[in-house]
Chains A and B, each alone.
Chain A
């Protein structure tokens, strides 16, 4: 198995400084590090390779133009980029009016949901960030099944609380409680993740 790339805290800070200084090579390096994760996230949400690549493109344009808006004191760079990717993917879902088709796809069974969030195959272990991927999966797996399900519907499908309640035939209050508890547990489990360190 190929050993994963390593990106130390100092390297990450240096990369961010170079991006803010307008170093074009830094953007290329950032692509090598995070593009697989942005593409994976966008594909998971959009289920369309072309749309997912468009999201990747949008994300890098936004990062390049607005890197100054990232406050390192408020959080690491990679989660900030992933949140942009998620928002862009949700925008694409809404803009392209494919929401209900995707939702219908989900309706085919919760087994699909479970398989969608399974860890990546081991041959992907060379991708930077692999250990983080495993840790986040472990944190999600530690949740109760019903909590895990609402997290996935909320995060990846962008469903509102009310829509999740309708989808799962559960009371709205139950959905809110499950999401709150899930977020508390995830926050606790992932508290130690500070940087893109492997």
Chain B
């Protein structure tokens, strides 16, 4: 039965202040819940931000450690090249695009490694690149294709050809951007060791 029996009791006019008190309490509870929800959202946002920062710092730390290890390895390599008794240093003056530069080769014949530094080379045309060659007893073998778009020094490490070939010297030519199987363009230098 619908609860109409509650209407049996005589009505009582509430005191004027009761309405204000009742509404304040009812609405305050709702506002408090709203504030709680906002606080929860803020906490969540801060927590999420902290988690993101933690992950980012962790990632960057790992990356930094990796880079530091790589730098140390490179330092070791360079140090080995420079200070090893078997390393031969060849500096070759070059002239490209009307300017004078140099190519320096640290050649470690025991470990079959070269460290090559190019300074002062003129930037290539859009469709061209410098190509470095090993001069071997079997002919020219490509060492590296080096598109030079900016006027900056270039450093690279190279593995020389296998034991069945004897490296006798180095050469550099200007070739198409993708490189060539054998020298076709103008020769920048050709040097026997």
Contacts and interface: CB of A to CB of B under 8 A. Distances in A.
B186 interface: no
B21 interface: yes
Which range holds the interface residue count of chain A? Answer: 35 or more
B44 to A, nearest CB: 23
A9 B29 CA distance: 29
Contact of B19 (A31, A65, A86): A31
Interface string B1-43: 1111111111111110011011101110110000000000000
Given A61-B25, A86-B3, A186-B1, A127 B9 contact: no
A interface: dominant SS: helix
A70 interface: no
Interface of A: 22, 24, 27-28, 31-32, 35-37, 39-41, 43-45, 52-53, 56-57, 60-61, 63-65, 75-76, 79-80, 82-83, 85-86, 117-121, 124, 127, 129-130, 132-133, 136-137, 140, 151, 155-156, 183, 186-187, 190, 193
Contacts of B23: 24, 27-28, 31, 60
B19 A136 contact: no
Contact of B7 (A63, A64, A75, A136): A136
B14 A39 contact: yes
A40 B10 contact: yes
Given A27-B27, A60-B23, A60-B26, A39 B12 contact: yes
A124 B10 contact: yes
A186 B5 contact: yes
Contacts of B3: 79-80, 82-83, 86
29 contacts: A27-B27, A28-B23, A31-B19, A35-B22, A36-B12, A36-B14, A39-B11, A39-B13, A40-B9, A40-B11, A45-B9, A52-B12, A56-B22, A57-B25, A60-B26, A61-B25, A61-B26, A118-B10, A120-B11, A127-B13, A129-B7, A129-B11, A133-B7, A133-B8, A133-B10, A133-B11, A155-B8, A183-B1, A193-B2
A59 to B, nearest CB: 9
B29 A61 contact: yes
Interface residues of B, number: 25
Contact of B4 (A35, A53, A119, A190): A190
Given A28-B23, A186-B1, A137 B18 contact: no
A37 B7 contact: yes
B180 to A, nearest CB: 77
Nearest to A31: B19
B26 A43 contact: no
B29 A65 contact: yes
Most B CB contacts (10 A, CB to CB) among A37, A156, A187 go to A37
B18 A56 contact: yes
A127 B11 contact: yes
Given A132-B4, A136-B7, A155-B5, A35 B26 contact: no
Contacts of B1: 183, 186-187, 190
Contacts of A83: 3, 6
A40 B19 CA distance: 15
A40 B27 contact: no
A43 B14 CA distance: 11
A86 B6 contact: yes
B32 to A, nearest CB: 11
Contacts of B15: 53
B13 A36 contact: yes
A141 to B, nearest CB: 10
Contacts of A39: 11-14, 18
